[in-house]
Structure 1
Amino acid sequence: MSCESVVETHKTLSALSAKVLEGVAAGSSTIQLASQLYLSRQGVEYHVNVMLRKFKVPNRAALVSRVYSMGMFDHTAWPPAVLPEYIR
């Protein structure tokens, strides 16, 4: 496996994780996201915590900042949308 493959795999998100991330970036609460995505509150927290570890950040604000800085969001859209090339 090449180094590039490792980087690409590391940056990709599942479709559901991408939706959770978009909601976090838009400022939605855990309960709002759970309702919108038909998940439990714990399910949303699970996806958020996986992304916090994946991107090595301490909190939601830092997660959104890191993802923006990596160019994973469409910077021309509001609410934020994860670009399709980062969704597996």
Structure 2
Amino acid sequence: MSSGELPRPSDDVPQPSGEVPVPSGDVPVLDALDAQVLEGVAGGESTVQLAARLYLSRQGIEYRVGQMLRRFDAPNRPALVARAHALGMFAAGQWPPRVLPKHVR
């Protein structure tokens, strides 16, 4: 190897692929209302906007978001959206974000 060459990774060292391996059983299935709340959070809607659109109280939205934060083991709303995206729950290339039907019961 010359001085300008970088060392090649050996075949026995695992290389990062950029994908998070997720067992199929670990992807939560949401009810229709939770899917709508997650879509709203992913689209940047506030609690008040979500409550008005879904005809729920602010506390009802906060309760549902809190339940999803625990289910997805996420510390906050951006992490919740990132986790759902990493799990493949959103349709690709679609705005506003939509949860795929296979993740809704």
TM-score by length of 2: 0.75
1:49 pairs, out of 66, 79, 83, with: 66
Could you tell me how far apart the structure 2 residues matched to 1:86 and 1:76 are?
17
Higher-Rg structure is 2
Answer 1 or 2: higher relative contact order, Cα 8 Å, separation at least 6: 1
More helix by share: 1
**Which residue does the alignment assign to 1:59?**
76
Could you tell me how far apart the structure 1 residues matched to 2:71 and 2:62 are?
14
Point out where structure 1 has 5 or more consecutive residues left out of the alignment. Answer: none
Q: Deviations over 1:25-70 (max 9, x none)?
A: 0000000000000000000001100000000010000000000011
Could you tell me how far apart the structure 2 residues matched to 1:75 and 1:58 are?
24
Task: Supply the RMSD in Å over aligned alpha carbons.
Answer: 1.5
Could you tell me how far apart the structure 1 residues matched to 2:86 and 2:103 are?
14
Point out where structure 2 has 5 or more consecutive residues left out of the alignment. Answer: 1-22
4+ long deviations beyond 2 Å: none
TM-score by length of 1: 0.89
